[in-house]
Amino acid sequence: MAQALKTIEEQSKIKCCCVTCGTANDELSHHYKEGVIKIIHCKQCQNPVDPYIELDDLLVFIDFVLLKLRAHRHVLFNIDKIKYNHIIKLSCAFILANAYVKWFHLKNDQFQSIINHDHHIFFALEYGFYLKLIESFLEYTIRFGFILFIAILQCGQKWTKEKSILLFRALVLSSIGQLFVLPLLIWSPDQRDYYAVLICFIFTILCHAQALNASQLLSPLISFISSTIAIVLSKLFILFFSTNYFLNNV
């Protein structure tokens, strides 16, 4: 398994990217003797290839959340410590977090039944977590699958396995907005803050669009349109899935 992951990483390895203009470069910095390090300048725009390598990770994260294109390029192309297995683990964490939010609201809606010691409802809610986990997995699969389909259509025969890995990396890292809903469960556990959920929904669309734009796999307009349609389509499918007869009788 470890050997397979290493092979995938080697296949998906690409050149460094200038965070200003997006031009591929061979290296970010050059190391001289006696510990002297010189940042390489881009041959295209004459700016430093990646000034973020001198900044703390927290500052990079802030710029990433603020949807700065340079920060997204830095995270996608120029960070070697984010391995392929880290992306897999992060995607699993997002699925679990999304499932927990769905299950928490389901449990909160049935809170009065639990107070009345209705044990059947209690065990049904525990079983409901696994159903919400399936819903969350399907939601991410539809979202990523639709964007992958659009990207393949645009690139045609030029599409490669390395581009698929890059697309998956971009979509997973740009799903960080899904975690912003979790603090709402602490601040207002007895009610749903629909405005905050809507803000997280819009932020996720913008973050996906910016990540796709930074990856240079889709144009800015197509990135925004495909991200919006993919998220709305996945939400509608889950809404249809959760309203069938079997789930309503859990």
Domain residue limits, the chain: 2-77, 84-248
* 122 Cβ contact list (under 8 Å, min separation 6): 114
Beta strands in the chain (DSSP E): 16-17, 24-25, 29-31, 37-39
The alpha carbon torsion through 215, 220, 224, 230 (nearest 10 deg) reads -50
pLDDT tens per residue across all 250 residues of the chain: 344 334 334 334 446 888 988 888 877 777 676 666 778 888 888 888 888 888 888 999 999 999 999 999 999 988 877 778 889 999 999 999 888 888 877 766 565 555 555 545 545 557 778 888 888 999 999 999 999 999 999 888 788 888 999 999 999 999 988 887 777 777 765 556 667 778 888 999 999 999 999 998 899 999 999 999 999 999 898 888 777 644 444 4
pLDDT at 249: 45
Give the predicted TM-score (pTM) of the model: 0.80
HSE-up (13 A, CA, CB side) for residue 64: 21
The Cα–Cα gap between 204 and 220 comes to 15
Q: What is the pLDDT of residue 12?
A: 42
Which of 234, 207, 205 minimizes the C-alpha distance to 95? 234
CB burial string 148-171: b at 16+ within 10 A, e below: bebbbeeeeeebeeebebbbbbbb
The pairs formed by 230-235 with CB atoms below 8 angstroms and a separation of 24 or more are 230/142, 230/143, 230/144, 230/146, 230/147, 231/143, 231/201, 231/204, 231/205, 233/142, 233/143, 233/146, 234/138, 234/139, 234/140, 234/142, 234/143, 234/146, 235/139
SS3 (DSSP) at 26: coil
Rounded to 5 degrees, what are φ and ψ at 33?
-70, 160
- The beta-strand segments (E) located in 8-144 are 16-17, 24-25, 29-31, 37-39
Pair 204, 231: CB distance under 8 Å: yes
Q: Are 36 and 57 in contact (CB under 8 A)?
A: no
pLDDT at 172: 93
Residue 119: predicted pLDDT: 47
Angle at CA of residue 8, ends 7 and 12, nearest 5°: 120
pLDDT of residue 158: 83
What is the DSSP-derived secondary structure letter of residue 29?
E
